[in-house]
Amino acid sequence: MAVDTANRLQGREFEIVIVIHPLSGRRDATAFHLEAGRLCVLASRHRQACIFVARKGITDLLDSHPSTDPVHLSVEAKFPDGWEANQVIMTKLAGLQRLQHSAR
């Protein structure tokens, strides 16, 4: 068993990973906590299962702190936008939660 940060888990794998969402317990959504690479590492270190633990209201927090990265037309983004990556993850998790409740 290992308990560590996303930065130090880079390159490692585990059978089961329990992830505490980076915005859990936050009142704001800083660039550090929204960084897409960190979220990717947290969501991809498992072999068998990944369990996300998150507090209620993260999507509201994201909505109240929209992305401030500039958008340039006709220029492909080099890296995924962290705000958008968090929105996608939360939408996917909400969909899985709905499936789990409807299966009961």
Task: Output phi, psi for 37, to 5 deg.
Answer: -65, -40
| Residue 14, pLDDT score | 94
Contact present, 98 and 55 (Cβ < 8 Å) = no
3-state secondary structure of 65: coil
3-state helix, strand, coil in the chain (%, to 5): 40, 15, 45
Contact present, 62 and 81 (Cβ < 8 Å) = no
Helix (H) or strand (E) holding 16: strand 14-20
| Residue 71, pLDDT score | 67
User: pLDDT tens per residue, the chain (104 residues)?
Assistant: 888 888 888 889 999 999 999 888 888 888 888 888 888 898 999 999 999 898 888 888 888 876 666 667 787 766 667 888 888 888 888 887 776 667 76
3-state secondary structure of 17: strand
Indicate the domain borders of the chain: 13-68+78-102
pTM of the model: 0.70
